[in-house]
Structure 1
């Protein structure tokens, strides 16, 4: 299964990807986690990324695509993957399609978690208090939601035109949201995984 979990920051992509990776038997590839690992290791990319992320600014497309392509080339991603946090704009979506075609792993489905902005701000405030992530600061979250609406939301239409988009209500109990995602996956995954 080659799946993109799509949605606004704080919509639950990471939470659902963590839950789905066991069921689907494929790795959860989070651009946020990949970047945070670079930051923790103090790499040149990590230091550059930290400054931008702390301000709520997205990294350049070429940097992100390079990180993603490198990760998808690893052996554990060959049977499939759950991609979380990428693509974030139309150029990234087109570039990702090109990379996946080149490596023979086209997407099966893009699942958009639909969550109202007010619920997202509340979720991120809780996460900021618990984890202290600078990108979950309420002011930063509002800025990120603005960037999402302007740059990322149009990606849904890109995948809808290709017949890949499924929209799922991302509000509610975790198990219910997970089941909604499983219900829209191609190939009857939910029946095999239940």
Structure 2
């Protein structure tokens, strides 16, 4: 039942934001509020559990990519930068603002994850530098530029939201960050 509660809560958050009620959740599950409160003592505790599950899923995606031996180090970085934010598509800026306003402790947990959980990407970027697969850049600055870029994608007012899928936008961001905007000299010569 616990997994069903979390899954339905996640669905309701996508549908209604954090304004869903425990009555909404109980009705969607075909159960009573009493049953819900047997699992979670409050809506805050439930939202915190959803955030923790969400973070665990993102970390698992990251681990799966990191441990994928068929990818080289540069491909791993690119996959992480494209795959992880796609999993976070639910968390647009509007939802993040609601989370912060109504469930501050859960927001702090998620915010810390978003800002601080870059150790694997940073290690891979440093490995890329050592292997001379990327230029001698500052990996921390690269990550901050990347975060700034994806924050724009999750902004509800993002002007290109309906022209491109999130995946297309993320792939373009990663392409520009990795390859720049100048044309390849060899391509220009042909």
Normalised TM-score (structure 2) = 0.35
- Larger strand proportion of the pair: 1
Normalised TM-score (structure 1) = 0.35
- Larger helix proportion of the pair: 2
